[in-house]
Chain A
Amino acid sequence: MPTKTKTKAEIADIIKRIELISGENIYKCYQCGKCTAGCVMAGEMDISPYKVIRMIQLGLVEKALESESMWLCAACFACRERCPKEVDLSKIMEALRVIQVRDGKPLIEPEEVADEVIEEMPQQGIVSAFRKYN
């Protein structure tokens, strides 16, 4: 388990940062779970999409940022389409990714991607991945 290192004020700052980058009010979510029910990647995530929001609401932002879930979000917008409270979870996942990338912790470096992947994948896929992961 990661040790808690951040002060209350620092955590509040990260929550503010998530809201500023995503443009979403995270407190609108009332935990119905519809986002997760329709998420094709949820089964691969260590923390379910609805739980990611709950953790941010509760100030467990460090845990949310350590999770793999944001990198597995494929930005397919099914959650956004179906949310009864019109919370755009795809933007919250993007905010978590962007925080990591801006803080110098991208998921991939272009030179680390195998040549055969670059060769095989359509240009659209490569551009998308680098936009999301670096």
Chain B
Amino acid sequence: MKYSYFPGCTLHTQTKNFNDSIKITSSLLDIELEELKDWQCCGAVYPLTADSTMGLVSPYRSLQKAYEEGTDLVTVCSACYNVLKRTNFAVSNDAQIRKKLSEYMDVDEYAGESKVLHLLEAMRENKGFEKIKEKTINPLKDLRVAPYYGCLLLRPSEELKFDNPENPTIFEEFINSMGAIAVDFPNRIECCGAYVSITSKRKVKGATESILKSAAKRNADIIITSCPLCYHNLAKEQEQLVQSDYLFKPIPILYFTQLLALAFGIEVGSCGFESNRIDARPILKSKNLISGGDAL
């Protein structure tokens, strides 16, 4: 199945390893991602103001372009997903907003005809989890993986319709299909504090620490996410936590497609592990998922 692909600003810069692993793994699942031409930053947060639609111009442009290409739009960064899907919901349901945007941009009116899908949703639509089972040549046996959903994939659920907002299962399904163990931990849908960390890290400490400790209590080997900001906040907090709590052992955080690349037997050097803030290779080596030589 062919889709337009919206990588977003972070996947093109700081988290290239996420983008690379998406490209390698999706093609093996018959999900063909063609990068949208001249895409622009989505704005990272969905504008919550009723009296201004300026913030919707950029995501609307991307949606309109995907429609012109005759495809649905796949994105993977949780923030891009939240913004693009909510914008699509707004223009589908609000004729006034849609008219304003199309007139302002001087383009044909677009009314949400293209779908916005997260890569996990695209997998679900294309029997991806069955295909993952078939194509896994390096089953992640005995690896305890904590799926961290965070907020932007799930809420507001009436607009995103991603999964059950209080008890999602799509990440668990993904983890199980690679032969790993999905760790059930209570804080998997809680917010990490998001952009608040730009002002004072102390303020997000409570949020990040409870997520990490909750995963640690359930003996998670690895945490997976699809959000670069969650990744950053959780990794940064661990630098403090190892200083203040001698019982806490760092838990590597990976982008979910990095783990998929490993399960598909892609050469370890192409899984992007060397760019992760907390090195996952020692734990993967201890589970015999990569060989000693690979780890170096």
Contact = CB atoms under 8 A, between A and B. Distances in A.
Interface of A: 20-23, 40-41, 43-44, 71-72, 74-78, 80-81, 88, 90-91, 94-95, 98, 107-108, 113, 117, 120-129, 131-133
B43 A108 contact: no
Interface residues of B, number: 49
- Tell me whether chain B's interface is mostly helix, strand or loop, or mixed: loop
- Tell me whether chain A's interface is mostly helix, strand or loop, or mixed: helix
A132 B207 contact: no
Interface stretch (B20-28, B173-181, B193-201): B193-201
Given A81-B155, A123-B14, A124-B10, A22 B48 contact: yes
B44 A128 contact: yes
B193 to A, nearest CB: 5
Contact of A44 (B152, B194, B206): B206
- Listed from nearest, the 3 A-B pairs whose CB atoms lie closest are A23-B50, A76-B191, A77-B155
A90 B48 contact: yes
- Among A41, A72, A77, A133, the most chain B Cβ lie within 10 Å of the Cβ of A77
A132 B45 contact: yes
Given A22-B48, A80-B156, A129-B199, A123 B55 contact: no
A128 B50 contact: no
Nearest to B151: A76
Nearest to A40: B207
B206 A122 contact: no
Contacts of A107: 199
14 contacts: A40-B193, A41-B193, A76-B190, A88-B48, A94-B48, A94-B49, A108-B199, A117-B198, A123-B13, A123-B14, A124-B228, A127-B41, A132-B195, A133-B199
Interface of B: 8-10, 13-15, 41, 43-45, 47-51, 55, 77, 79-80, 150-152, 154-157, 165-166, 190-199, 203-204, 206-207, 210, 227-229, 231-232, 236
A47 B192 CA distance: 20
Contact of B155 (A43, A78, A125): A78
Contacts of A88: 48
A91 B197 contact: no
Nearest to A24: B50
- Among A71, A74, A117, A133, the most chain B Cβ lie within 10 Å of the Cβ of A74
Contacts of B13: 123
A23 B47 CA distance: 12
Given A122-B10, A123-B14, A128 B194 contact: yes
B165 A131 contact: no
A72 B15 contact: no
Given A107-B199, A108-B199, A128-B79, A78 B48 contact: no
A68 to B, nearest CB: 9
Nearest to B79: A124
B254 to A, nearest CB: 15
B206 A40 contact: yes
A20 B232 contact: no
Contact of B44 (A21, A95, A124): A124
Given A72-B196, A121-B198, A80 B203 contact: no
Nearest to B189: A78
B228 A125 contact: yes
A131 B199 CA distance: 13
B43 A95 contact: no
Given A22-B50, A23-B51, A94-B49, 7 more contacts: A41-B204, A44-B203, A77-B151, A78-B190, A124-B9, A127-B45, A131-B55
B228 A75 contact: no
B196 A108 contact: no
B198 A126 contact: yes
- Among B48, B191, B194, the most chain A Cβ lie within 10 Å of the Cβ of B48
- Among B15, B51, B198, B206, the most chain A Cβ lie within 10 Å of the Cβ of B198
A91 B48 contact: yes
B207 A81 contact: no
